[in-house]
Amino acid sequence: MRHTLPIAPQFYVTAPQSCPYLDGRRERKLFTALQGDQAEKLNNALSKQGFRRSQNVLYRPSCTDCTACLSARIRVADFKPKRGQKRVMTRNRGLERHAKSAWATEEQYALFRAYLDARHADGGMADMDVFEFAAMIEETPVRTRVIEYRDTEAFDQGISNDEGEAPLAAVCLTDILDDGVSLVYSFFDPDLRHRSLGTYVILDHVALAAGLGLPYVYLGYWVPGSAKMGYKASFPALEVYADGIWQPLRDPSAFSDQTHPLSIDPIAQQVAQISLPDMREK
C-alpha cells in the first residue's frame, strides 16, 4: 500500500505483525526510503516528528489499535542525573569513549552476539549474522558514528583484545542530527550487567550532546506498559512526541496505552500531516 505526496519522498506501510512490546497487540509501521543527497535533511526533519532510522529507512509506528509507542528525547540543558544515575557514572569511570566511523568490526560483532544471546535470544535480531550486522552499522546515508566504550580498568589488570587494546564493554550506533544525537542501537557486555551499561551509554550521550552544543538526545520509543521500554521514563528532562507535539513527561501514568481505534487517523491523513523539508534545496 503506497501513498504519494506531491513531492518526494513516498511513504509506505508494513503489514500488521505481532507487537514486540505489548502482548496481544499488532504493530505496523509507516516508512520511507532514506537516500540521495537530501537524506540528511530528511532524517533531521522526520526525527523531530517521531521517526527513527534503520539503515536506509525512516519509520514510525502506525498501528490500527493503539498509539502506545511514543518517541522520547532528553532535553540536555535541563538534565540533572538522579542519585542512582550518578552512581552509574562513578561505577563506569574507567570506561573510555572512542567515536569511530560507521564501520563494523569482528570485535563489535562478537560483543553484539554475546549481548543478544544473553538478553534477546528470542528477539527479532537473534539470527542476525555478521553480514547483516555489518549492514546495520555501515548502510547509512547520514552522519553516523560508532561510539565504542573500552574498559581501561580491565586493561590495567592485564585484560586486552587481540589488538592489545582495552576490551570493548559497550557500543552504540549513533546518528548526529542538526539538533541532537540519536541512539540508533546499543549493546554491551552481558557479563557486566551489574554496571548498568545501558544507562551509562545514555548518560554519556547527554555529555556528548552537551559537548557538541546540541539540545537533545533521542532515545527511540518509550512504551507505557512495556517492561522492555519502561527504563526510559527514569531519565530526568524527558519529553515525548504525542498528539503531534513534543511534551514533557512529567507523569508517565498520564500517557495511556489505551486508544480507541476510531480515534486513529487513516494512513493518508497521517502522511498529509507530516512536515517535509524543501527537497529541492541543497
Determine phi and psi for 37, rounding to 5 degrees.
Answer: -80, -5
CB atoms near residue 263 (< 10 Å):
8
Q: Could you tell me the pTM of the whole model?
A: 0.91
Domain 76-218, CATH homologous superfamily name and number:
Gcn5-related N-acetyltransferase (GNAT) (3.40.630.30)
Cell of 90: 562513578
The pLDDT tens digits of the residues spanning 207-220 come to 999 999 999 999 99
Domain with CATH 3.40.630.30 in the chain: 76-218
Say if residue 152's pLDDT is above 90.
yes
Q: What is the pLDDT of residue 224?
A: 85
Cell of 274: 507530516
Cell of 98: 572512542
Write the CB contacts of 188 (distance below 8 Å, at least 6 apart in sequence). 111, 115, 149, 169, 170, 171, 197, 198, 201
Q: How many helices (H) and strands (E) does the chain have?
A: 7, 15
Q: What is the pLDDT of residue 268?
A: 86
DSSP H helices in 175-241: 197-212
The pLDDT tens digits of the residues spanning 63-99 come to 888 888 999 999 999 999 999 999 999 999 999 999 9
Say if residue 162's pLDDT is above 90.
no
